[in-house]
């Protein structure tokens, strides 16, 4: 597999990181009293421990240039000292706090079956398959979006970034603007995080490891879709509603 073929196959995985139920979340079709389910599952599956997942890739990697990229990501996620001012997991909790949810719910979240399968995959991918798979799954799949191609092709659609006043949680659920600290932080760092993820994979992964990375990314997508299916069901959505939904708005 050539470098260009590797890049294209990764892009095609990321372009399929789209779930049928997401427009319901971004257009207010999910009842507010059930929205906490989505936030709790996100927290328990990866948000709380995202710095740990990045750290696992870091400690396994023998390549100094890659470790530096991962270290910067880890430092920002764990401390927020470069941009956000606070650890990113703490900033995430401003969403449920701003919505008036009981934060004690986040202390002992029981994962849905699909969420458990996805988290188990994330743990396996970041502990037992080598640094390259760990970095790909964490820095590219988990952090990435379906709009990765815009990094390589200026004509490809970039991830939309509407004004914070138009954020779905603000428009449909009354979230105060000051509770969007994590959204603002992501907008400040994500461009460089996206470029760093691709540099790590395209410039430093040995050619004989590329197939394994693509396979891991495909598995990540399958597990993520199953996870999102379970969340959709838990908040009361049904697959057939898709045809009646407006287009998704990236949060």
Helix ranges, 3-112 (H): 3-15, 22-26, 32-42, 50-60, 64-79, 88-92, 94-98
Residue 140 falls inside a structural domain: yes
Please give the pLDDT value at position 84: 65
pLDDT, residue 80, reads 80
CA pair distance 125, 148, nearest whole angstrom: 21
Q: Identify the sign of the CA torsion 11, 72, 93, 107.
A: positive
Residue 149 lies in a domain: yes
Flag whether 163 is in a domain: yes
Would 122 be classed as within a structural domain? yes
Decide if 251 is inside a domain: no
Q: Tell me if 14 is assigned to some domain.
A: yes
Q: For residues 228 and 218, what is the distance between their CA atoms, to the nearest angstrom? A: 15
Angstrom distance (rounded) from CA 95 to CA 39: 8
234 within domain boundaries: yes
Please give the pLDDT value at position 244: 42
CATH number of 179's domain: 1.20.910.10
The pLDDT of residue 189 is 67
Evaluate whether 220 touches 27 at the Cβ level (below 8 Å): no
Number of domains in the chain: 1
Count of Cβ atoms closer than 10 Å to residue 188 Cβ: 13
The reply to whether 250 falls in a domain is no
Q: What is the mean pLDDT of each run of 10 residues along the chain (251 residues)?
A: 96 97 95 96 97 97 96 91 80 96 95 98 97 97 95 92 93 95 83 88 96 98 98 90 43 47
CA atoms within 13 Å, Cβ hemisphere of 16: 14
Domain holding 162, by residue range, is 3-244
């Amino acid at each position: 597999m050539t470098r260009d073929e590797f890049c294209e196959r990764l892009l095609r995985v990321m372009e399929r990181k789209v779930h049928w139920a997401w427009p319901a979340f971004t257009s207010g079709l999910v009842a507010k009293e059930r929205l906490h389910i989505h936030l709790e599952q996100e927290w328990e599956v990866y948000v709380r421990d995202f710095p740990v997942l990045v750290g696992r890739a870091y400690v396994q990697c023998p390549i100094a240039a890659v470790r530096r990229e991962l270290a910067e990501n880890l430092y920002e996620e764990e401390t927020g000292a470069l941009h956000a001012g606070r650890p990113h997991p703490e900033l995430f909790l401003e969403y449920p706090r701003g919505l008036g949810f009981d934060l004690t719910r986040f202390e002992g979240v029981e994962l849905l079956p699909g969420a458990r399968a996805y988290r188990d995959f994330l743990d396996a991918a970041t502990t037992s398959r080598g640094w390259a798979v760990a970095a790909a799954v964490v820095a590219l799949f988990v952090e990435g979006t379906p709009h990765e191609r815009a990094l390589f092709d200026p004509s490809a659609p970039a991830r939309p970034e509407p004004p914070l006043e138009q954020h779905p949680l603000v428009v449909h659920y009354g979230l105060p603007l000051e509770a969007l600290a994590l959204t603002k932080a992501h907008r400040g760092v994500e461009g460089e995080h996206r470029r760093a993820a691709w540099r790590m994979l395209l410039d430093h992964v040995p050619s004989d490891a590329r197939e394994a990375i693509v396979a891991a990314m495909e598995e990540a997508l399958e597990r993520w879709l199953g996870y999102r299916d379970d969340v959709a069901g838990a908040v009361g959505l049904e697959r057939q509603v898709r045809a009646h939904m407006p287009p998704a708005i990236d949060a």
